[in-house]
Amino acid sequence: MSAFQFTRTAIATEQLRVSLADPACGGYAAFEGWVRDSNEGQRVRALEYEAFEALGVREGERILAEARARFGVAHAACVHRIGALAVGELAVWVGVSAAHRDEAFRACRYIIDEVKHRLPIWKKEHYLNGDSGWVNCERCATAPTHTHPDEATAHRHIHDPA
């Protein structure tokens, strides 16, 4: 089983937790990202995720390998939902097991932060008022000079070398 996966069905967290168990590990940390009922002042009814899966799995595996190398954790895994999700559903799960808690917490935080910035996955929100929009894309479109905080990291500004 690949440590990074996309899934179109509910994420089986208990099964994933058990897969990270290791007698050498004394710490386990997990993060769950849930679909929230509001975003930037709009009431969210539902959302859909769409991913470029071939690249997404490679990039996801790279993020997990970096977390293992950088923090020395034993096991790391991540599953991201794609398709239509309702408010309250689990959208992304990250789990890490390690000898001690500190590296488990830090690796877990690293993975979810990198996943949000780097994975080729897109989120379309459907609002209660009937509107919908691709998160981080619509504002770029209407105001090309605007930089979303996420993009400031994902697309590092290149300074003039002169």
Which secondary-structure segment (H or E) carries 63? helix 53-71
Contact 3, 61 (CB under 8 A): yes
17 lines the binding site for other proteins (CB under 8 A)? no
Which residue, 21 or 131, has its beta carbon nearer to other proteins? 131
Tell me if 92 contacts other proteins by CB under 8 A.
Answer: yes
84 binds other proteins (CB under 8 A): no
Interface stretch with other proteins, choices 15-23, 54-62, 96-104 (CB under 8 A) = 54-62
Does 36 bind other proteins (CB under 8 A)? Our answer is no
Please report whether residue 112 would count as binding other proteins according to CB under 8 A: yes
Give the three-class secondary structure for 45. Answer: strand
The count of chain residues that interact with other proteins, using the rule CB under 8 A, is: 50
Q: Which residue, 12 or 53, is less far from other proteins as judged by CB?
A: 53
Instruction: Write each residue from 115 to 154 as x if it is in contact with other proteins (CB under 8 A), else as -, in one continuous string.
Output: xxxxxxxxxx---------xxxxx-xxx-x---x-xx-xx
Within 13 A of 75's CA, how many CA atoms are on the CB side?
21
Buried b (16+ CB within 10 A) or exposed e, 124-159: bbbbeeeebbeeeeebeeeeeeeeeeeeeeeeeeee
The DSSP bridge pattern shows strands 75-81 and 132-134 to be unpaired
- Decide if residue 69 touches other proteins (CB under 8 A): yes
Other Cβ atoms less than 10 A from the Cβ of 81: the count is 24
Cα separation, 24 vs 98, whole angstroms: 8
Give the interface with other proteins as residue ranges (CB under 8 A): 33, 49-52, 54-55, 58-59, 62, 66, 69-70, 80, 91-92, 112, 114-124, 134-138, 140-142, 144, 148, 150-151, 153-162
